[in-house]
Amino acid sequence: MWSIALPLVMPIYGTRPEAIKMAPLVVELRRAPGLECFVTVTGQHRSMLDQVNRLFGIVPDHDLNIFSPGQSLNGILIRTIEGLDKLFGVNRPDAVVVQGDTTTSTAGAIAAFNHGIPVVHVEGGLRSGDLRSPFPEEANRRMTSQIATLHLAPTATSRDNLLKENIPAAKIVVTGNTVIDALFAAVRVKVPFTDPALEKLAESGRPILLVTTHRRENQGGAMRGIGRALARIADAVPDMAVVVPLHRNPVVREALVPPLQGKRNVLAPEPLDYGEFCRLMAMSRLILTDSGGIQEEAPSLGVPVLLMRENTERPEAVSAGAVRLIGTDEDRIVSEVQDLLHDAKAYRSMAESRNPYGDGTAAQLSASAIQRMLGTPPDGPAN
Ligand code: UD1
Ligand code: UDP
């Protein structure tokens, strides 16, 4: 009796946002007939990655465990490529799936390409138009686009970016963003906050300004300015709670903690579990961030976002009116927050904008596209 090996699909990811956006797709791939799914994590992030896998019940099949404190971009790249080289020698997938624009993602794509393994790029086609911002993500995503076999574009805008770069239309599928699938799954479950101070805040009903920042191009002077701006906002609006879940990067903490220390209406917890963070986003009056994923999630929750960046590769939410690009100047951050809090009409128009990133079916559409690429279409077996 012959047994035919099923095509092996290997999602590879390593950071918190990749884990969040890959989780719904891993769930779909694991239940898709006609293929096997083998999850490899690099461990570029450690605690922040493990948190997300636990939440979605994903136990990786292989862990490269490359994390080291203060890691450099090239260190991440080298250790990921070396680890995958060895892994592909003993467990060669028929397709690799990478997500977005991190160093893990591009290293995974390069390692697979060099082995002649087709690369599926989830969240393909995002472009800020500035190679140095966000750094190094814009360069990472452009490199991955060059070597991917299948591009899963979240929106028509990202598809058009790929078409302009002469990627054939037949290799692009518009799916929506899997982050919306993850968000819908997370908000369905009512979770308590681990930190009692956050539970108390939830009970109080006080307005919340939620803040996250971690981008490399903002680290240093700009991030210290963000810290000073937050201190001024906390003083100017004492009834409002300013909640700043701190990224694990010590560089971020050095910039933010000193100006915020001792402020009675500021909370700076450790990174929150995704479920808790989604609950906090939904409770917030306003979000101030330089994050990529939060720009996509907040419009689905009706919470306006002020984006502390000079440009964005996610122009859809800006056009829809849900996100406003404000840069990183300290005075501007203070005035933009205060203006929006006092302008009910502008606030309502941002809060009521539509979400341009999908309806929660992106993972299913992505899995189907991968099955078609492998010749095991979802609507009927190929053999
Ligand atoms: C990475 C991604 C960025 C993404 C971000 C999400 C790259 C180049 N950048 O940036 O695109 O937006 O993740 O958060 O891939 N650390 C820990 N524990 C953790 C995670 C991080 O201690 O679980 C600390 C370490 O000191 C580490 C530092 O944070 O050296 C920076 O982490 P790293 O993955 O190198 O880059 P991020 O800035 O997090
Ligand atoms: N997030 C989280 N806990 C936190 C802060 C953020 O789960 O304390 C989630 C957030 O909802 C979003 C993702 O992490 O889905 C964004 O990650 P990050 O800002 O680190 O990376 P980016 O999206 O900028 O690449």
pLDDT tens digit string along 304-360? 999 999 999 999 999 999 999 999 999 999 999 999 999 999 999 999 999 999 999
Q: What angle do CA 74, 79, 85 make, to 5 degrees?
A: 125
* Cα(295) to centroid(ligand 2), Å: 10
Which residues have a Cβ under 8 Å from the Cβ of 270 and sit 6 or more positions away?
A: 245, 246
Instruction: State whether the beta carbon of 245 lies less than 6 angstroms from ligand 2.
Output: yes
Task: Please identify which of the residues 18, 94, 123, 313 carries the catalytic annotation.
Answer: 123
- Which whole-number Å values give the CA distances from 318 to 118, 158, 181, 205, in the listed order? 34, 14, 21, 28
The residue whose CA is least distant from atom 13 of ligand 1 is 15
Which of the residues 206, 216, 332, 372 is marked catalytic?
Answer: 216
pLDDT of residue 378: 78
Instruction: Give catalytic status of residue 214 as yes or no.
Output: yes
d(CA 373, CA 274): 31
pLDDT for 235 equals: 98
Residue 383 has what pLDDT? 40
Give the ligand whose atoms come closest to the C-alpha of residue 104. Answer: 1
Annotation marks residue 121 as catalytic: no
For residue 245, the tally of other CB atoms under 10 A from its CB is: 18
CA distance 253 to 255: 5
Task: Look at residue 382 and tell me whether its pLDDT is greater than 80.
Answer: no
Span 350-373, average pLDDT: 97
Task: Determine which residue's CA is closest to atom 24 belonging to ligand 2.
Answer: 291
Per-residue confidence band for 3, with pLDDT thresholds at 50, 70 and 90: low
Rounded Cα gap, residues 152 and 161, in angstroms: 12
Predicted local confidence at residue 2, as pLDDT: 61
- Please name the CATH architecture into which domain 194-351 falls: 3-Layer(aba) Sandwich (3.40)
Q: Give residue 286 CA to ligand 2 midpoint distance, Å.
A: 16
In the CATH hierarchy, which fold is given to the domain comprising 8-176+361-373?
Answer: Rossmann fold (3.40.50)
Q: Is 85 a catalytic residue?
A: no
Asked if the model's pLDDT at residue 380 lies above 90, the reply is no
Please indicate whether residue 123 is annotated as part of the active site.
yes
- Check if 183 has its Cβ closer than 6 Å to any atom of ligand 2: no
Check whether 106 has a pLDDT greater than 60.
yes
pLDDT of residue 1: 55
Q: Is the pLDDT of residue 15 over 50?
A: yes
Cβ(92)–Cβ(111) below 8 Å: no
What pLDDT is recorded for position 4?
Answer: 74
Tell me if 292 CB under 6 Å of ligand 2. yes
Q: Which of 126, 219, 277, 280 to mutate to test the pocket of ligand 2 (most atoms within 8 A of CB)?
A: 277
- Cα of 293 vs centre of ligand 2, distance in Å, is 6
Task: Tell me the mean pLDDT in the region 236-245.
Answer: 98
- 114-152 pLDDT tens trace: 999 999 999 999 999 999 999 999 999 999 999 999 999
* Catalytic residue status for 45: no
Which residue among 18, 28, 94, 137 is the active-site one?
A: 137
Average pLDDT, the chain: 96
Write out the H or E segment, with its range, that includes residue 266. strand 266-267
Those residues whose C-beta lies under 8 Å from the C-beta of residue 168, and which sit 6 or more positions away, are none
Please choose, from the candidates 121, 36, 126, 99, the residue with its C-alpha nearest in 3D space to the C-alpha of residue 314.
126
Helical spans, DSSP H, in 189-249? 196-204, 221-236
Q: What is the pLDDT, as a whole number, of residue 324?
A: 98
Catalytic residue among 28, 94, 101, 330: 101
Distance 45 CA to ligand 1 centre (A): 6
Residue spans of the domains in the chain: they are: 8-176+361-373, 194-351
Calpha distance 367→23 (Å, rounded) = 12
Q: What is the DSSP-derived secondary structure letter of residue 85?
A: H
In short, whether 212's Cβ falls inside 6 Å of ligand 2 is yes
Q: Stretch 80-97: mean pLDDT, rounded?
A: 98
Residue 359: helix, strand or coil by DSSP? coil
Q: Quick: pLDDT tens for 143-176.
A: 999 999 999 999 999 999 999 999 999 999 999 9
